[in-house]
């Protein structure tokens, strides 16, 4: 089995592949104060919950946008499986032509998502990642990573809203009943959900205008994606495990 981990600013996504089958997916909260031993204990517990153990894995691969945790998570994997994981970094074979000013600065999560999208979906393709930040990556008709847009994520925006406006409460992102809210909760939910969906639709339109070839597919991933993409006017494919799929592909290109 292949163990894949995406270390994000909010969550650590964990996927185990048995051949081409995703055997299980689990998530941990990202905590920069945890040690390698603590993450090792949690990984072992996740394996136990899914009827596996460290000895079942023959390889592991990590993407991380939290540099201070990369070594701890890598060490934890070695502790529970005896495997030294492949870490996505400059010099790793990804098969992705990165056409940015400084390819070394492109986040490992963006690379993993782009690799999976280029392998699975018609090109050109846009990858919308609705996580801690909202990112839209552009993969052109030749499968090259052209660049991306980055804006504040939905969670960050909501936190700023209710922390700076004393009369606005924290809310859950349920599907809004209407665009024009009749009370504070409905108004905030509508502004957040429909606002994010409209931003995605609008940005996709603007990106499409800049490309030589019309966009053929839009795929969304990330913690907020499942609910938001349902409200988009564009046909957006939801794939919650896109980054894990990309990590598996990258491992296979390096083994």
Task: Please report where in the chains the tokens 């980054």 appear, as a residue.
Answer: 243
Q: Which tokens in the block code for residue 200?
A: 């995605």
Domain at 2-87: CATH code? 3.30.420.40
The reported pLDDT for the residue numbered 185 is 81
The reported pLDDT for the residue numbered 171 is 64
- Ranges of residues in the chain with a pLDDT under 50 are none
Q: Which tokens in the block code for residue 18?
A: 């048995």
Q: Report d(CA 154, CA 241) in Å as an integer.
A: 19
The reported pLDDT for the residue numbered 219 is 98
Catalytic residue among 6, 37, 109, 174: 109
Let me know if 109 is a catalytic residue: yes
Q: Report d(CA 107, CA 104) in Å as an integer.
A: 8
- The yes-or-no answer to whether 2-87 and 103-247 have a common fold is yes
Apex 185 CA angle, 238 and 223, nearest 5? 25
Q: Give which of 67, 59, 75 is closest to 15, Cα–Cα.
A: 59
**0.85 cut: is pTM over it?**
yes
H or E segment at 114? helix 108-120
Q: Report d(CA 117, CA 54) in Å as an integer.
A: 29
Residue 241 DSSP label: T
H or E segment at 49? helix 36-49
SS (H, E, C) 185-198: HHHHHHHHHHHHHH
Question: Domain limits of the chain?
Answer: 2-87, 103-247
The reported pLDDT for the residue numbered 86 is 97
The reported pLDDT for the residue numbered 158 is 83
CA distances from residue 101 to 62, 97, 248 in whole angstroms, order as listed: 24, 12, 27
**Strand ranges, E, within 84-183:** 86-87, 125-130, 133-139, 145-152
The reported pLDDT for the residue numbered 188 is 85
Give Cβ neighbours of residue 73 (< 8 Å, ≥ 6 apart). Answer: 5, 7, 12, 36, 39, 62, 64
**Does domain 103-247 match CATH 1.50.40.10?**
no
Q: Report d(CA 80, CA 177) in Å as an integer.
A: 47
């Amino acid at each position: 089995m292949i163990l894949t981990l995406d270390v994000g600013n909010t969550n650590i996504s964990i996927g185990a592949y048995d051949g081409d089958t995703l055997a299980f997916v689990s998530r941990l909260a990202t905590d920069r104060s945890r040690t390698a031993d603590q993450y090792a204990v949690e990984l072992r517990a996740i394996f136990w919950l899914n009827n596996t153990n460290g000895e079942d894995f023959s390889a592991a691969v990590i993407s991380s946008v939290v540099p201070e945790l990369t070594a701890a998570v890598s060490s934890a994997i070695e502790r529970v499986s005896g495997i030294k994981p492949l870490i996505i970094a400059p010099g790793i074979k990804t098969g992705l032509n990165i056409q940015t000013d400084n390819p070394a600065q492109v986040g490992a999560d963006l690379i993993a998502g782009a690799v999976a999208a280029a392998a699975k979906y018609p090109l050109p393709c846009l990858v919308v990642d609705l996580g801690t930040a909202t990112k839209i990556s552009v993969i052109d008709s030749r499968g090259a990573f052209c660049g991306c847009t980055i804006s504040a994520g939905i969670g960050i925006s909501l936190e700023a809203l209710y922390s700076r406006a004393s009369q606005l409460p924290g809310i859950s992102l349920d599907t809004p009943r209407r665009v024009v809210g009749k009370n504070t909760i409905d108004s905030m939910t509508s502004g957040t959900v429909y606002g994010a969906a409209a931003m995605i639709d609008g940005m996709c339109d603007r990106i499409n205008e800049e490309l030589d070839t019309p966009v053929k597919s839009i795929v969304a991933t990330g913690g907020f994606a499942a609910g938001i993409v349902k409200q988009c006017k564009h046909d957006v494919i939801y794939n919650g495990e896109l980054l894990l799929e990309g990590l598996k592909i990258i491992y296979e290109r390096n083994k």
